[in-house]
């Protein structure tokens, strides 16, 4: 942080270290502009208000959304997404906001009728080394491994997770129980850069489900909140064996994700440019949010 100078809430200046190649090539500083910069004293509530609240307002009106935390290992992604007890992160705050929003007159008048009802469902999965695991599976027992799930694409390219547990949520307590179970079951391990590092990409999904009197179900909107595993440089972590293999998968996934995001930006000025989501499981899982069917 010694090299960073936050000018205001949107502008940051990087002072290039004197021992770097960039400095030796004559560049001593660089300016960057962001939609919002959060300083270390920023509260969890402030982060939620700026990054997530507007997306959830759209979700409660039927607009899908995607929220991701990306960064190097130890940068605070899981803290931001989950938060410790007493200082909740984005997922618990999102649950509160959605539950409260579904109880408002505006929501009920928009969706609930004599013929149809709208309910909330949650799922929690992880993508570990390109394999999908259900973090809410009722088959999880002490000493047993989590069941690995299969996925298939439909004619429109949407990825469907077969036998993924989806819990109907009717109260805040039920939702918090789902979050607690999902958090407990994910892959974590100690690395040189983080004593409690997430070794998988975890995704908490909220679905608004409309059901008619014939029990026909329709997803109105989906909100995905994703805690991406942290990127690492192997020469800094001294990782070996299983940790090295995990880091390799993580870095490859994040590389493909960045390629997708760059292609999406380019496609705004080049409509015929094709965005490839199937290079890895992560980008395929996120493709609905990335492709512009929702906000991110």
Whether 182 has a binding-site annotation, put simply, is: no
| Minimum mean pLDDT range among 58-62, 133-137, 163-167, 265-269 | 265-269
Same domain, 19 and 159: no
pLDDT of residue 198: 64
Same domain, 89 and 30: no
Distance of CA 2 to the CA centre of its chain: 29
Whether 153 has a binding-site annotation, put simply, is: no
- Using DSSP, state whether 65 is helix, strand or coil: strand
Task: Give CA–CA dist 63/60, Å, rounded.
Answer: 7
Whether 198 has a binding-site annotation, put simply, is: no
Q: Determine whether 216 is exposed, middle or buried from the number of CB atoms within 10 Å of its CB (0-12, 13-18, 19+).
A: exposed
pLDDT of residue 207: 94
Whether 74 has a binding-site annotation, put simply, is: yes
Same domain, 284 and 156: yes
pLDDT of residue 212: 85
Neighbours of 164 (CB within 10 A): 18
Supply 139's token pair: 């088959």
Whether 188 has a binding-site annotation, put simply, is: no
Same domain, 31 and 66: no
* Of 240 and 285, more confident: 285
Check which CATH number belongs to the domain holding 89 and give it.
3.40.850.10
Buried/exposed 177-199: b ≥16 CB within 10 Å, e otherwise: ebbebbbebbbeeebebbeebbb
pTM for the whole structure: 0.85
* Domain extent for 217: 43-295
Same domain, 7 and 143: no
Dump pLDDT digits (tens) for 157-216: 556 789 999 999 999 999 999 999 988 877 654 444 443 456 789 999 999 999 988 888
280: enclosing H helix or E strand: none
Question: In this prediction, what percent of the chain has a pLDDT beyond 70?
Answer: 84
Same domain, 12 and 108: no
Q: Total domain count for the chain?
A: 2
Q: Residue 113 — very low, low, confident or very high, per pLDDT cuts 50/70/90?
A: confident
Dump pLDDT digits (tens) for 70-97: 988 888 999 999 999 899 999 999 999 9
Whether 192 has a binding-site annotation, put simply, is: no
**Which has the closest alpha carbon to 278: 296, 257, 248?**
257
pLDDT, averaged across the chain: 83
* Of 259 and 268, more confident: 259
Same domain, 205 and 136: yes
Same domain, 241 and 198: yes
Tokens 């960073």 -> residue: 4
Same domain, 8 and 127: no
Same domain, 48 and 26: no
């Amino acid at each position: 942080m010694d090299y960073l100078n936050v000018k205001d809430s949107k502008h940051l200046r990087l002072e290039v270290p004197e021992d770097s190649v960039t400095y030796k090539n004559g560049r001593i500083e660089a300016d960057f502009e962001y939609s919002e910069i959060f300083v270390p004293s920023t509260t969890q509530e402030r982060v939620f208000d700026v990054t997530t609240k507007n997306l959830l307002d759209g979700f409660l009106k039927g607009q899908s959304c995607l929220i991701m935390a990306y960064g190097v290992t130890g940068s605070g992604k899981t803290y931001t997404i989950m938060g410790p007890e007493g200082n909740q992160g984005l997922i618990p705050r999102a649950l509160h906001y959605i539950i409260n929003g579904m109880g408002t007159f505006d929501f009920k008048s928009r969706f609930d009728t004599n013929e149809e009802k709208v309910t909330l469902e949650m799922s929690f999965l992880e993508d570990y080394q390109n394999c999908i695991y259900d973090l809410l599976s009722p088959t999880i027992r002490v000493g047993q491994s989590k069941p690995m799930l299969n996925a298939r694409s439909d004619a429109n390219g949407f990825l469907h997770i077969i036998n993924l547990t989806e819990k109907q949520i009717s109260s805040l307590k039920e939702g918090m129980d789902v979050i607690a179970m999902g958090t407990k079951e994910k892959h974590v391990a100690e690395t040189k850069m983080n004593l409690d590092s997430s070794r998988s990409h975890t995704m908490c999904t909220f679905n608004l489900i409309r059901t008619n009197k014939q029990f026909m179900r329709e997803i109105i909107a989906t909100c995905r909140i994703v805690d991406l595993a942290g990127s690492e440089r192997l020469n800094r972590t001294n990782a070996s064996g299983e940790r090295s293999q995990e880091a390799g998968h993580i870095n490859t996934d994040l590389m493909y994700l960045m390629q997708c995001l760059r292609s999406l930006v380019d496609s705004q000025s080049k409509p015929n440019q094709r965005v490839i989501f199937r290079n890895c499981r992560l980008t395929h899982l996120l493709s609905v949010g990335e492709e512009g069917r929702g906000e991110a």
